[in-house]
Each structure stands twice: as C-alpha cells, then as structure tokens.
Amino acid sequence: MTSERSLLKLSPQTPTALERILSISSFSDLSKPARYSPVAVSAMDQPYPADDSHYSGTTPRKSSSLRSVSIQSKDFGRTSVGEGNSSSMDDYGRSGSKPVRHGSKSAESEGYSLSQKEINDDEARFIYINDPEKTNEKCEFTGNLIRTSKYSFLTFLPKNLFQQFHRVAYIYFLAIAILNQLPQLAVFGRGASIMPLAFVLLVTAIKDAYEDWRRHRSDRIENNRLASVMVNGKFQQKKWKDIQVGEILKIFSNETLPCDMVLLSTSDPTGVAYIQTLNLDGESNLKTRYAKQETQWKMLEKDAIHGLIKCERPNRNIYGFQANMEIDGKQLSLGPSNIVLRGCDIKNTAWVTGVAVYAGRETKAMLNSSGSPSKRSRLETRMNQEILYLSAFLVTLCAIVSVCAGVWLFQNQDQLDYIPFFIALDFNTGKNNNYSGVGLQIFFTFLMSVIVFQIMIPISLYISMELVRLGQAYFMIRDARMYDETTNSRFQCRALNINEDLGQIKYIFSDKTGTLTQNKMEFQCASIGGVDYSGGRAALPDEKGYAVQVDGQVLRPKMTVKADPELQWLLKDGNTTEEGKWAHDFFLALAACNTIVPLVVDTSDPSLKLVDYQGESPDEQALVYAAATYGFMLIERTSGYIVIDVQGERQRFDILGMHEFDSDRKRMSVIVGCPDKTMKIFVKGADNSMFSVIDRSLNLDVIDATEKHLRAYSSFGLRTLVVAMRELSGPEFEQWQSAYERASTALIGRASLLRTVACDVEKNLHILGASAIEDKLQEGVPEAIESLRQAGIKVWVLTGDKQETAISIGYSCKLLTSDMTQIIINSNSMQSCRKSFEEGMAMSKKLMTVPADTHTGGGVGPDRAALALIIDGTSLVHILDTDLEQELFELATVCSVVLCCRVAPMQKAGIVALIKKRTEDMTLAIGDGANDVAMIQMADVGIGISGQEGRQAVMASDFAMGQFRFLLPLLLVHGHWNYQRMGYMILYNFYRNAVFVLVMFWYVLYTAFTLTTAINEWSSMLYTILYTSMPTIVVGILDKDLGRGTLMKYPQLYGPGQREECYNKRLFWLTMVDTVWQSVAMFYVPFFAYSHSTIDGSSIGDLWTILVVIVVNIHLAMDIIRWSWITHAAIWGTILATCICIMVLDSIPVLPGYWAIFHLATTEVFWFCLLASTVVALVPRFVVKILSQFLSPTDTQIAREAEKFGNQMELLGAAELEMNRIRNPPQEMPR
C-alpha cells in the first residue's frame, strides 16, 4: 500500500497506549544554546505524500518451472512514476467538469487542491490578528456556527417532499392521485387513491425527521461548547458558535480545537505543540505543530499583538496550508506545520494560543464531511428497465380497455341514454350526465384504466428495498467473522444502496501495502559501505535491548529489533576502522533524518521508562527503532535540536533545516549541526531518486555492491531505502540558508522554489548504504486470494512498489504461481509500448493452446495456460488515455493476473476505468490509504481498510473492514445472499402486483369496459402496503439459499451472481407468463363457479382479494429455503391480517359490500373456490420447478442437496461437487 503522506511518518498507536504517554523528558545539561540560528522547519506544499519505494514481503517460492517473458524497450531507463499526492478527494470529485488524465505525469499536478497552488491577492483572504472587526470589515467571513442538519421547522416539509419526488415513480403516483380527484375520472375514493403514496412519503419523512433531529441535537451541543477567547486583552469564556475569524484563542491540554487556527505560542519554550487528529482522520498517533519564534515569546495578555495573515481560501486539503504572516514589520512564511485544525485535540502540551483563520463550515473538517459519492446498484439499474417493460404492459392493458370501450360505445350509442348502468342522459334536466362523446370517453377510459391498474408499477418496492438493505447491513455489521480484534473494529456499511453488488464482483483491484500486508514494518538487514549485514534476520530479538541511564532512570526503546551481532560489535568498537565510520554515519543518519517524536512511557517498574517513537510513517518508526537497537537512541526532539544517545554518550545535534519528503524528489533531507562543529546533510529516499544525486566518482565499488544488495533485498519482498550524506562548508550552508529563506517567504512560486532549493543542496552525496524493512502479509491473504480466484474473480494488484518487490509479494500471497508465464512490460515511450503489446499478444496467442493440466490458472479455461501481466507506471504514462488503452485491455483480459508496479493514484483509477468503460463486469477496489481514494471511488464497489494509514480510504469507501481476508465472508457469503435475496424480491414484487392487476383486468372485460371494480377500493390500496409487504421484506432479510459453510467451502458457488442467474430478462418474462396463468386461474375458477348465482360484485371482490393474498404468499412459501418462526409469522400472519381487514371493512355501513364477507364465508362454494383456485394456479409452477431441478440443476441446487445429504455423502466418500465452468472472458459492453 502506498500513502499520500510522507514515508517518514509513524504508524498510529492504540488509544490505551496514548493515555499513558508522559511529557517529553528534558535534559538540563544539554540545554545549551545552539551554535547556529535554527531555520524554521520546511513545510513543503505536499507535507504527507507517499511512495512505496521500499517494500515488503516474504521469500518467494522458488521453482525451476518458472517462466518469465520480459518485454522492455531498448531505450528503457530508470524513470518510474511514483505515488504522489496527485489528487485530493475534493478534486477527484470535481473531475467530471474537466477530463482527467489518468496516465500522464502531468495528471499529478491537475488534481492539486488550492493549498498546493500558489496564491495571489485575488485568491487570498486577509486576517488581522486580534482584530475581528477589521478582518470582517470588507468581506464578512462565516461565523463558527455549524449546521449539519438538512432542515429547519419551516423548511422540512417543502425540502423533504422535493427530495423525495426526485424518484420518478413518486411523480407517477402523484399524477395518478391527482387524476383520481377529477369528477370524470374518479374511480376510487379520493382519500383511498392517495393513501399508498402518502404512506410511503410519511414513513420516509418520519425517518428523515428523526435523523435530522439527531443532527440538530448534536449541532446544539457542539455550538454551545466553551473556549477561551481574548476579549479586551484578557481571555474569557466564549461559546464556540460566537467565535470569529481573527480572534485569538487559548486552548488547554486535552481540549478540542473549535476552529482552524494558526499557532502563535505554546507552553513549550521551543514553540512545539503535540496534537491528536483522531476526530479528523482517525489517526491516534501524535503529530507536531510549531509556533513561529517571532510570536512564541510574546506575552499576549501583556503585549498587544497585531499583524496580518494572508492565507489561501478555504479548501478540503487537510494536509496542506499556505500563508504568509506579517508581524512587527517582518514577513514570515506559514505552512501545514503551523496550523491546527478543528476537531484536533491538544496532547502533552499545557496550552497553545492561536488566531482563528477558518471558522464554521469553512473549516477543513467541515469541508471534508460530505461523505462518499452516491452509487446505484447494478440490480436497481436493471430493475428500471423492467419497470419500463411493466409500464409498456400497463399502457397496453389500458389501450385494450379503452379501445374495447370505444367499440362498445359505438355499437350501443343509440341506447346510451337508457342503459341502466351507463345513463348518459339526466332526465331531470335534459342534459348529458358526464358524457362527452365517444372520442373523449375513450380518452377518459384510458386515464381511468391507468388509475385502476396503477399498482402495476410497484411503489412499495422502493421502500421494501430500503428496509431489506438495512436488515442486510445489520447482519453484515454484526458478523463476528468480520470483526478485527487487532484494531477493535467491526465491519462498516457506509452505503446501503449497493449491498447486492457484492454478489456480482468480477474484478478486484487491490493495493498492496497495508491491504495485503500488515503495514507494520520491521527492520531486517542493511548494506553499509558495500557490506551486507543480514545476520540479524536469523537472530532472536533481545528482550531487553539497548538502554541508557538518564537522571537515575533507565530509558529503553518500546520495541526491540533483531540485531546483527557482527554489526553490533563493529559499532561498539567505535570509529577506529573505516567500516566503523561507515556504520556510525549510517545509523546516525537513521536517527537524525526523520520527524519522529520520542515520548516517554511509564512502566510498572518506577526505575524503568520506555521510549515510544511517535510519527506518521511505519517505515520511519522501524528505522528509528533499529538505530536505537544499534546504540543510536533518539531521546529528545525540539523544534531547534535533537538529542541522540550514541553508544552511551548523549550528543546534541542542532536542526539547521529540513526538507520533508515529496513525491517529485522522493527523498527527505536534514541539515544538522554536529557536536564537532561541522555541518552535515543526511538524505534518505527511494533508490531511483537517490542514485541520481550520489557522486559516482566516489566509492564506485560501494555503489555497485549496494545496488546488488538492493536487488537481492527486493527479491525477498523487502522495502528498501538508500542513505547518503555529505559535509557542508560554511559558504555552502550560508548560500543554502539564504536561498531557503527567500523561497519560504516568496509570495508566488513558493512550492517550486523550495523544491529547487532542496535539489540544489541534495547533490554530490556520499553513499552510506541501504536499509531493508519487512512488511509481513496479513493473516489469511494467500488463502483468500486463492478462494477468490476459484470463485472466478480476477485479482489485480496496483502498487507503488518496485517491480521486484511486487513480484515477490505476488508469490507470497499466491497471486503468482510458479506455473504462470509472466509477460513483463517496462517501456518509456509510446512506440516501445506498442511493440511490447504486439509481442505480448503474440506470446499469449502462442500459449493459448498449451495444455493447462498442470496449471493453476483459477478459471482460465481448460485449453489455456496461465498468464500474468506485470507492467510499470512509466509504461502506463504512455498507455492510459491513448489509443493503446484498447491493446492493454485485450492483453490484460486474457491474463489470469495483472500486477501494476510504481503506479500513481490517478493511474490506479485509470486502470479501474479501463475495465469499467469496456465491460459490464462489476469492479471492486480495496485500499487503506489516501492514495487509494481515487481508485475506491472509481470502482463499482469501494472498500476501505481501517489500518495504519488513517481513515481517508475508509471515509471515501462504500464499506470498511479491518483485514483483506474478510473479503471472503463479505463476497462469498453476504454478497451471495444479498444478491440472491434482492433479485428474487424484485421479481416477486413485480409478480404480486401484476397478478392483482390482471385479476382486475379480466373483470373489466365483463363489465362493458366501464372500469367498475369488484375489489373494495381500500383493499386495492392496502394490497401492497399491508396485505403482502411484510413477507417479502422478512424473506429478503432472513432467507438463505445455502449455508455459510457451504459457500466458504465451494467458492464456485459465487458464480450465479456473476452469471446473473437470479435476476435477468429471461426470468422476468417467465415470471410474467406465470403471472398471467395464475391470474387467469384465480379469476375464472370463481367466475365460473358463481356464473349462475346472484352474488354481487363486492362479495366476489372479497373472494378475489383473499384468494390473491393466499396464492402469492404460498407462491413465496414454495421458494423459501430457510424457515424460522419469524418467516412463519410473516407468511401466515399476513393472510390472517388480510382476512381481519376485509371483515373490518365489510363491517363499516358506509362502505360498499356491507357484511358481504360474512354471508359469503358461510357457503361451501367460497371454500371450494379458495382451494381449487390455489391448486390450479400453483401446480404448473410446482411441476416446472421440480422438473427443472431434476433435469437441469444449478450449482446452488446441487450444493443444497449436498447440504441436505452431507453426512451420507461423507460416508460414501464423495468430497467433490461438479459445478458449472466459470466464464473467463469479460462481458463486453455493447458498442
């Protein structure tokens, strides 16, 4: 996994550990003033970019049968595309207005948010310190009042109705209700006609009102919290909602920031403050922020402070900030290290003061609270097509009725004045009785037909789907098999509308670091001075480890690292040998070149303290712990210096300057003033960026040996870093200091100027060596990938790692196998890429006929050898967004595995888009870092891993979980269940509504097409709301076609979702044919039974209502697999409730059919009709169902039989089930 934050940041610690953190120890004997005037720490415009230039894994499985086809152009160089902070969530979301280039390097600059661009006066906001009136004089900034609620008391009704009527079906039913209010079209009672829509609107409105009430309550609590604000020279308590931009605030330890503010001073003499961003991005580790020395020493309550801050406009980038501050006539530059954001907590710092620059809804936290983008499920999209078919069917029925009515009117036009049930003439007045001629009467009949048959379009289906998805989400969240004990996190369902898409995934796009691996780094070995020190890999970690004495107490690193005995002996021997000097400088660089904050933690032993290294990069944490193990222990850090215990001797190093990591340079550097009064620059970074700035005229043999060791480390899946240094002369340092000060205070072009300054000083370096860190695989990853491949799901890994490391991890997690033929494409021009594709396609065609008996392709077909495509980001620069995309698609889709190395975040999104644009296959993206956000949002389903890289991926995802292996129960179990249930529920809803409409349609044909209804108007309205709604919801939540154990044991059972077996056009039309038959049976059996009787319409209408409810519920019962008491209660309870409702309605004198059911139920014919109609309606379906399962069983039906007779099969030794072959070719989109 790669991150959009620096590789020099530490992983978060658990909250319980943080609670025990004490203040940083100070050493009075080391508090001498520095020889050099410290330069402020550089705040690059990308303070937390990411690059996986140093990698993780385990030893690959070696096999003599490995075949690799490497396709490289002759002009191939070392250029590669790293993972930079190429796009924020905000910019990615706005990319629709401007074509986004996924492949080019320039794409990395397109996505920068405002905090990464240069600002001018037109784009800036001006804040006058401690003068809110003047600040808001020209342009009144937003107050600090926040409002997350959607509605107020006055706006709730109009806004809520407006939002609900975005659904076209609601507008349709509103139009129906309005038409029914017209006298010429009044078929139902005016109240009854509007009840279904009113019920759905009311339920949704109540849900929305409750949710908004909770938001109002939360807002009220938040806005009324108190903070100390300077008023008339004194700090006074003030409500958060009353804070204004420009005011000075004082925040104490463990308090939360009420707004975004620039630090002015802190309780620490050096101006450092420690903050926790848990509420902002989910990271529990502490971060450092700094106040400028020019404001640090001002006594705010005694010395009046006035100044001007010119900063960028509000934006969503929580990791960027650019501003200038004028104070006492001096201009200072401000960056991300000088601002603290709303929602952060002050830790390990008694107090801080600052000036509010963004307040209320303009704070970065509020701008980032919009949530993930809305997605629609594939089933719902397909369902809309079927609703169009039903609409056409409805129009056809209405047209038939209206045309037949016109024919009848034409044939009987001479008798219309006298026909008793029509009476076109009012004899009292001599005028017509609502009769407007044949033409208009046909038109009115058509509209009346629409009103009568309105439930053909199932309005209740929408609310039923919402409730079913809510129930499914509940069981997914409560699944103990998706609970991560290490992070104490449950599965999160952040998007309720795509649950069923989990059962149709064909492609998975996965990040590596932190997703497939643990992102918990452990130092393994090092190459120092051209010598490989790998002895520590086989050694056991020393339980006690290195320790130092400070003021009578023992300080020991919190974590121990396996150490190489030879290297330890060499370092203890000191600088007496050449090798010792190399090792000394190497570990000194590891201890000094970082942004780690050492915190002292209590233990049960009062004389023993543990040093916990806090930061934002697991890599950096591992390197500092390694340096401590070898006797270079970082024990104190301030904004101006650090203290390192070097083999028992405490030494102070002044921090003269620092250039943090950025994705262009892919390295970081620190300039330190050493105790021997020399100045040195230590640099570490990715090998491809470091070797370009190392002086190859010095120690060429060491450079060659280091490169050889790096290749060896990468082959073992280790993450590597190159370390170098050089000594700076006085004039060189003064030149750098002058250039840095000019760049850091520049109003225009600051970012590029700072980058140029860094590149100018980071040159002609003397190589020290390279480090190797291991990032182990997560538990169960190899087994999960193997099962996913057996399920017919293709797993593509998109990573910023080096090619060698990615391949090694591929073997470790069983993504790659020794039997696969690798097609490797490394090119740096469009022409060479085209040639590589031609060679790759030729190779794939040649291997397509190779027998695959010995291959483990996982669904690649019986006549095709397994292929693996490995391609780097440099090649993708020339492929994505060009005509070569189609060639990449054709080659990638014939491969079982695709591995993309050294890819940038936007390239990840481009690869996902490559599949989405050209196939109808469902895609899923999974990652854990901010650099995975674009990929997660591009895929049909996005999953965030709540791991070591914060919560940006989680916040942008549809679902979130703790481990990659949880994909198995999520997809194979819950995804299968959700898809099967939802597909069946949609078809069942179409059926139950259509069968009711058709019964009324057949009746209309025998009433002179006057649309007289035998069924009570209230029963017609209650049919979808009360009579038949509950069983389908219960079954949609609880029914299981197969057990969890079977679905996990046989991953091939995931195939029905990919093949759309549970919901497709064929099933839809078969359902409609069955619907027509059942409606005919239910109408004509009672029709003929009562044809010679004197039964009235209301009585037979009650019979048809009860009969339809019984048949549709027994129809549902025939398809239920897992019965429970809830299911029984829903099915049989609904039938009972229907009978009770009809009796109640027939007990009301003012309604038609008074006491009808009570007379009807006393006759034998009534009970005969119920029984005979049910049998005639359902027997054909039952017979067809039995024959289809016997003659052509599906995988699911076979597995169900295996479940039923599992014990007998085990006794007979039958361990395998024959499944349908998994389809490998992608489903091409229709051109």
> From residue 771, how far is each of 57, 570, 618, 627 by CA, in Å?
15, 17, 14, 11
Dihedral sign for Cα atoms in the order 511, 512, 517, 518: negative
Dihedral sign for Cα atoms in the order 598, 602, 607, 610: negative
Locus of tokens 């440099």: 874
C-alpha–C-alpha distance, residues 1211 and 909, integer Å: 51
Those residues with Cβ within 8 angstroms of residue 681's Cβ, 6 or more apart along the chain or in another chain: 669, 670, 671, 672, 725, 726, 728, 761, 762, 765
Strand order in the sheet with 330-334: 124-128, 307-312, 323-327, 330-334
Tokens of 942: 């996005």
HSE value, Cβ hemisphere, 13 Å, CA-based, for 496: 14
Q: Could you tell me if 320 and 367 are in contact, meaning their C-beta atoms sit under 8 angstroms apart? A: no
C-alpha–C-alpha distance, residues 1123 and 823, integer Å: 51
Tokens of 151: 């509605």
Q: Catalytic residue among 52, 260, 281, 511, which?
A: 511
Active site residue 511: yes
C-alpha–C-alpha distance, residues 607 and 553, integer Å: 5
DSSP letters spanning 1181-1192: HHHHHHHHHHHS
C-alpha–C-alpha distance, residues 786 and 780, integer Å: 10
C-alpha–C-alpha distance, residues 595 and 613, integer Å: 10
C-alpha–C-alpha distance, residues 928 and 961, integer Å: 10
> From residue 1191, how far is each of 433, 1185, 1194 by CA, in Å?
61, 10, 10
> From residue 431, how far is each of 679, 688, 985, 1191 by CA, in Å?
110, 96, 52, 68
Tokens of 902: 């050294």
C-alpha–C-alpha distance, residues 178 and 174, integer Å: 6
Those residues with Cβ within 8 angstroms of residue 664's Cβ, 6 or more apart along the chain or in another chain: 84, 755
**CB burial of residue 374 (10 Å; 0-12, 13-18, 19+):** exposed
Tokens of 670: 């620190």
C-alpha–C-alpha distance, residues 619 and 52, integer Å: 10
> From residue 959, how far is each of 504, 926, 948, 954, 971 by CA, in Å?
15, 9, 17, 7, 12
Those residues with Cβ within 8 angstroms of residue 1027's Cβ, 6 or more apart along the chain or in another chain: 1019, 1105, 1109, 1134, 1137, 1138, 1141
C-alpha–C-alpha distance, residues 104 and 894, integer Å: 25
Pairing relationship of beta strands 307-312 and 941-945 according to DSSP bridges: unpaired
Amino acid at 386: E
> Using N-to-C axis directions, what is the helix angle for 976-1004 and 437-452, rounded to 10°?
140
Phi, psi values for residue 611, rounded to 5°: -100, 115
Q: Which of 1159, 915, 904 is nearest to 104 (CA)?
A: 904
Dihedral sign for Cα atoms in the order 755, 761, 765, 769: negative
Q: What is the dihedral of CA 1192, 1196, 1201, 1204, to 10 degrees?
A: -160
Return the active site residues: 511
